[in-house]
A and B are shown apart, each in its own frame.
Chain A
Amino acid sequence: DQQVKQNSPSLSVQEGRISILNCDYTNSMFDYFLWYKKYPAEGPTFLISISSIKDKNEDGRFTVFLNKSAKHLSLHIVPSQPGDSAVYFCAARGTGTASKLTFGTGTRLQVTL
């Protein structure tokens, strides 16, 4: 049962343009959503998070939007840079004893020159 889904395995964007990565979830009990970035042979690096009571959080070039009614969140990167090329994982946190992060399968972003 895939509770967190990233339906696009890959995305290619030109440098300077906007990158939009999408994530859907099924469990309405998740209370926090996070985005991680992962380079090959490295562990994931935390990027940005959003509480389930908010609909937007911004940090520099990164903005996360949450649409609770649609159970959908997205990560916007503006402007995209070649160094942003990596695999991006969406994660959701449960509550109580389920307070673990459930990850999506990742989207590989390639920013081209």
Chain B
Amino acid sequence: EAGVTQSPTHLIKTRGQQATLRCSPISGHTSVYWYQQALGLGLQFLLWYDEGEERNRGNFPPRFSGRQFPNYSSELNVNALELEDSALYLCASNRNRESTEAFFGQGTRLTVV
């Protein structure tokens, strides 16, 4: 069974551009979470999608947005990129909203120059 897959692995953008990060959850999982791990910091919760709807949002500005598709894959969009957006972006999936442990992908390393 394939795990959570994220693409691309690495992404380099210039300040002001937009970045799109993609996540495919484990087959059968309906919940997808996005986290940001900036250098030296813990995992900061960004967004939670379940059954195609946004269920919760972390303390991030509106230029961080996303969506979940009918096949439960998800996309994270970051508009008007700033240098401090450089981080590892991690996607995780859960079987459903009641499940406990989330399974993480390997992450997308976003670098803003």
Contact = CB atoms under 8 A, between A and B. Distances in A.
Nearest to A2: B42
A105 interface: yes
B51 to A, nearest CB: 13
A108 to B, nearest CB: 11
B100 A49 contact: yes
B18 interface: no
A41 B44 CA distance: 17
A36 B4 CA distance: 16
Interface string A12-26: 000000000000000
B55 interface: yes
B56 A43 contact: no
Contacts of B43: 44, 89, 91, 103
B90 interface: yes
Contacts of A44: 43, 90, 104
Judged by DSSP, the binding face of B is: strand
A99 B97 contact: yes
Interface string A34-50: 10100001111110010
A38 to B, nearest CB: 8
A101 B33 contact: yes
A100 B104 contact: no
Nearest to B100: A32
Interface of A: 6, 32, 34, 36, 41-46, 49, 89, 91, 93, 97-106
21 contacts: A6-B42, A36-B104, A43-B90, A43-B92, A43-B105, A43-B107, A45-B104, A46-B103, A49-B100, A49-B101, A89-B42, A89-B43, A93-B100, A98-B56, A99-B98, A100-B33, A100-B56, A101-B92, A103-B42, A103-B45, A105-B42
